[in-house]
Structure 1
Amino acid sequence: MKAALMYGPNDIRVEETEKPTCPRDGMILKIMSVGLCGSDIRNLTTDSRKGDYPFIYGHEIVGYVDETGPETTKYKLGQRLFLFPGTYCMECDACISGHSENCENEHVAKLAGTGGFAQYIAVSGEKIQKGGIYEIPEDVSFDAASLGEPLTSVFACLENVRVGYPDTLVIIGAGPIGDFMAQLAKIRGARKIIMIDINQTRLDMSEQFGVDVTINSAETDPIQEVLKLTEGKGADKVISATPVNATQAQAIHMVRKGGLVVFFGGVPKGSLTELDTNLIHYNNIWIKGHFGASYSQSKRAFQLAVSPSFPTEKFITHVLPLDEINKGIQLTKSGEAIKVVLHPWE
């Protein structure tokens, strides 16, 4: 089969490799569309595997059942499926406490985590048993269904922090995730959405997703602009959705007293963010880290992604063959693309 193999930082080669063997209790999914995620790009452009190469990334996976093992009974040939990469044991302390996104069972968590930049992927019987596989309606395209994965964490975040009317929400980072947040926040009833980024192209594109005001922080002090827009009070909620420590530090200066700041984007491992803790203390600012989603949230996010309520066609700006994965990376990094979807069979 054809696959995009990573041999090291920025060394991604599309070449022929061995098709996976179908597990006796599992299946082979023929991948029809796979989204290119910001975390994929971060992994593909750094030494993410610490020298353990080659490796196949890609986790926004949709396709149809191409082969089933003799002990497989739940799915049949030809079924169109979305493969949620999160898998939870539902037995550890984190799962039992309601935080299955932090499942402590590393083996279970890795059952369907990656391998999507290829024409086929093997799905184990254990993954089928644990769940997180959803059927795609016949009238929904594979491309649209692939957005179910990146939407999942956004859906969970906005639900967990109760974004809704009459919130004024600041989103720092006008990438695909920031745009998802803006659109979903509008659906949830947020009154005003302020988007901040250093890339004017991204800011301009974000306006179609319910953003009311954009701030180019390369040209204007974003903290002062947010305060002006909120009569000096600050926003109700501020979400830092970038991989940059500086935006986390800025976020606490943009939120109102008693407001909430969310650290959504992961920053470089080992890096530290300098925060004015007196400001946090005396202004009663709440800070929440967000990662992942529960099974319930992943299912409802997928249902939203394939529904008429969510304008998937506006988010997917580029559809490329898998052979052009490196082009997709550059389009995303430059800000020209919002969401790139790759087709392994073109």
Structure 2
Amino acid sequence: MKMKAALMYGPSDIRVEETDKPICPEDGLILKVMSVGLCGSDIRNLTTDSRKGNYPFIYGHEIVGFVDEIGEEEKKYKVGDRLFLFPGTYCMECDECISGHSENCSNTEVAKLAGTGGFAQYVSISGEKIRRGGIYEIPDDVSFDAASLGEPLTSVFACLENVKVEYPDTLVIIGAGPIGCFMAQLAKIRGAQKVIMIDLNDTRLEMAKGFGVDITINSSKEDPIEAVQKLTGGKGADKVISATPANATQTQSIHMVRKGGLAVFFGGVPKGSMTELDCNLIHYNNIWIKGHFGASYSQSKRAFQLAISSSFPTEKFITHILPLDKINEGIQLTRTGEAIKVVLHPFDN
């Protein structure tokens, strides 16, 4: 049987065409993908030689849908169940998992179970993935589109929890993309009193004001360090999160944070690149620097619960819903800043 999928044949060479539908594992299931979010990491992978010539490949990890088929040995789920697939998979046995940092699980075989392949009409879920966990049921009254945002919210939820964003913080977020906007909204829920957003794109900055941002700074028009220092009476912000894929914003972040404050490196930068840091400033101002990646199983579950609750305006972040055939248009909309969040529909629904 055939299905429609967005296959990557090389950098920026994504073709929506027919391919073989996956075969249902004896102890697993086939999920019919109803909504799949277009993530910044997907766009980075799709526009670079991420597979080093190993093509074609199907990306997409913000996956929700319903069970289309189950194997003879699968007993946990049934056909028709509505499921959210968290892409992280952890062994819960290695030193990292046991210490509470399952997001850094060192079991590479288990990590390979992480969900991808969502830019297609169907995905296969193995029995081992089901046993290891990270699959959550979606209530009937929650849309698939809203539920798909449970994945990008996960890392944001974990970050703000780990660095204890709370009352009465002044928080600076560098990067007004989907992640930055999630951060702003969640920071306000957690009690932050002032959220300052920095970006180069006026369109994105204007949209960010709808997600709890108090003040915006366009760093192409004014010095963002001077602007933050002025807005904080020369003290600096309590916490600064660099949520861009750029070394330069990491460098800037330590000049925006107060003495004893915290700079968070959230966005991944090009592999092998180095960030210049004023180490005397870090030393004498007692500045803490923390890297952030991923989320634990506990945090993924609670982030998903928040995404599908009335406490978080999840669907407000979705600016464009497109058929899978228009994935290239979705990439462009995101890269230009016209979109906050693009959700793709593999089926006409």
| Secondary structure in 1 matching 2:20 | coil
SS of structure 2 residue aligned to 1:274: coil
Q: 1:173 aligns with which of 172, 175, 180?
A: 175
Q: Name 1:226's counterpart in structure 2.
A: 228
Q: Distance in 1 between matches of 2:181 and 2:161?
A: 16
What residue is the counterpart of 1:31 in the other structure? 33
Q: Runs of 4+ in structure 1 displaced over 4 angstroms?
A: none
Give the deviation of 1:84 after TM superposition.
0.2
Does 2:44 align with 1:59? Answer: no
Q: CA deviation at 1:113?
A: 2.9
What stretches of structure 2 of length at least 5 have no aligned partner? Answer: none
CA contact (8 A) 1:182 1:211 kept: yes
Aligned to 1:103: 105
- 1:313 to partner: Cα distance: 2.0
CA distance in 1, matches of 2:181, 2:66: 28
In the other structure, the counterpart of 1:329 is 331
Residue 147 of structure 2 is aligned to residue 145 of structure 1: yes
Amino acid at match of 2:188: K
Count of matched residue positions in the alignment of Structure 1 and Structure 2: 346
Q: Where does residue 240 of structure 2 map in the other structure? A: 238
**CA distance in 2: counterparts of 1:21 and 1:159, whole angstroms:** 39
CA contact (8 A) 1:83 1:112 kept: no
Instruction: Please tell me whether residue 293 in structure 1 is matched to residue 300 in structure 2.
Output: no
State the shift of 1:110 in Å: 1.8
Q: Identify the residue that residue 127 of structure 1 maps to in structure 2.
A: 129
Which residue does the alignment assign to 2:274? 272
Q: Report matched runs for 1:148-163 at 5 Å.
A: 148-163=150-165
Residue identity over aligned pairs, in percent, reads 83
3-state DSSP of counterpart to 1:81: strand
* TM norm structure 1: 1.00
Contact persistence 2:85–2:115 (CA under 8 A):
no
Counterpart for residue 40 of structure 1: 42
**Correspondence for 2:89:** 87
Uncovered stretches (5+) of structure 1, i.e. residues with no partner: none
8 Å contact kept, 2:32–2:68: yes
After superposing the two structures, state which structure 1 stretch, 257-266 or 304-313, moved more: 304-313
Secondary structure (helix, strand or coil) at the match of 2:234 reads: coil
Cα distance in 1 for partners of 2:66, 2:271 equals 36
Give the letter for the 2:172 counterpart.
V
| Contact kept in structure 2, 1:112 and 1:123, CA below 8 Å | no
Q: What is the distance in 1 between the residues matched to 2:241 and 2:114?
A: 28
Deviations 1:216-253 (A, max 9, x none): 00000000000000000000000000000000000000
TM-score scaled by structure 2? 0.99
